[in-house]
Amino acid sequence: MNIPPSASAEKVNGSIANTVTHRRMRKASAILIAATLALTLMTGVALATGVAQTIFRSMMGQIAVDDAIGQIIGNDPAKYEKIDELSNKEETIVTLPAMKNSQFTLSQSYYDGEQLMLGYDFDALTEPAEFGFAPGHERFFELEPTVTESTALMLELDKMLTPDEYACFMQTLEETGSSGVVFQELMLGDHIRLADGTDLGSDYVNYPLDNGVYFEFLSLPEEARNQDELSMQMTIKRTIWYYYADTTGGYYHLEYGTPETLSFTIPRSEG
């Protein structure tokens, strides 16, 4: 059976591929990133002392154990410790009524006129998966085979469904020889822009951690440098996946819903 395999993060456009984009992050089944011993110990100390672990500090621990990310953003924990101290930790929470009141929380930011780092969490809520997608459905004739590597990387079905949903899909496949499912996914858009429309580009790192996501621009356009603050916009996209598998392989169809726009302001960090 040609169920697409799981894939690790890859380097794309000078940044770590946005693994968050291809994950289903609902409150009922959050995506868990495997924690390393060092990061676990750091988190344990923070909890023991009653101090919440910030996303920036979590990233400091990850740099120490992940050579790939260290090579991209620099293996300098002292630098990020200072940035964490100077960062703005006032939470900005944006609720999306059109997306089942999903919440985007910007919990931390650092901007010094040249560098821009964000710490955020996205509580993406969607409808439960629907099973029984099969021949006769109006979208069935639009299915395409999952034969290319890029498609296989996107369709990590065991990551995109909850464990129970994936087990149901596989059980039906084993018992009947075919299985179909329709599910939704909310994801961050590919671009972050300033309020005036300036695209901040795609040279960034978007790195998932246990307590949120670390986001760092590796370079900023001239329009985003040396400002007192940055007024920014980010889009949230809704996708609908139709997936079907039988003894001949796996097939899919993808549709996009109307995106939602998030607006927030990043103050310049003092120090």
Listed by start position, the domains of the chain span 12-267
Is residue 11 pLDDT above 90, yes or no?
no
Nearest CA among 229, 213, 133 for reference residue 173 = 133
Mean pLDDT on 168-197? 91
CA distances 22 to 38, 55, 153, 155, 268, Å, are 26, 21, 9, 8, 31
Q: What is the pLDDT of residue 36?
A: 27
Q: Are the beta carbons of 202 and 13 closer than 8 angstroms?
A: yes
88-105 pLDDT, tens digit per residue, is 999 999 988 888 888 999
Tell me the percentage of the chain whose pLDDT exceeds 70: 77
What letter would DSSP give residue 35? P
Q: What is the pLDDT of residue 213?
A: 92
Q: Are the beta carbons of 54 and 108 closer than 8 angstroms?
A: yes
Q: Are the beta carbons of 160 and 187 closer than 8 angstroms?
A: no
Q: Are the beta carbons of 9 and 16 closer than 8 angstroms?
A: yes
Residue 245 CB partners (closer than 8 Å, separation 6+): 1, 2, 3, 173, 178, 179, 180, 251
Q: What is the pLDDT of residue 148?
A: 57
Q: Are the beta carbons of 121 and 107 closer than 8 angstroms?
A: yes
Is residue 45 pLDDT above 70, yes or no?
no
Output 24 or 58, whichever has higher pLDDT: 58
Distance CA 244, CA 3 (A): 10
Strand 116-123 and strand 178-194: the pairing is unpaired
Q: φ, ψ for residue 4 (rounded to 5)?
A: -55, 135
Task: Report the interhelical angle of 55-65 vs 37-48 (nearest 10°).
Answer: 150
Q: What is the pLDDT of residue 22?
A: 33
Q: Are the beta carbons of 224 and 116 closer than 8 angstroms?
A: yes
CA distances 44 to 64, 240, 263, Å, are 17, 38, 34
126-164 pLDDT, tens digit per residue, is 888 999 999 999 999 999 888 655 555 456 788 888 889
Distance CA 122, CA 113 (A): 26
Nearest CA among 120, 96, 123, 93 for reference residue 108 = 120
Q: Are the beta carbons of 131 and 180 closer than 8 angstroms?
A: yes
Is residue 186 pLDDT above 90, yes or no?
no
Is residue 19 pLDDT above 60, yes or no?
no
Is residue 42 pLDDT above 60, yes or no?
no
Kindly report the pTM of this predicted structure.
Answer: 0.70
User: How confident is the prediction for the chain on average, in pLDDT?
Assistant: 78
Q: What is the pLDDT of residue 271?
A: 65
Q: What is the pLDDT of residue 176?
A: 95
Mean pLDDT on 244-255? 89
Q: What is the pLDDT of residue 152?
A: 54
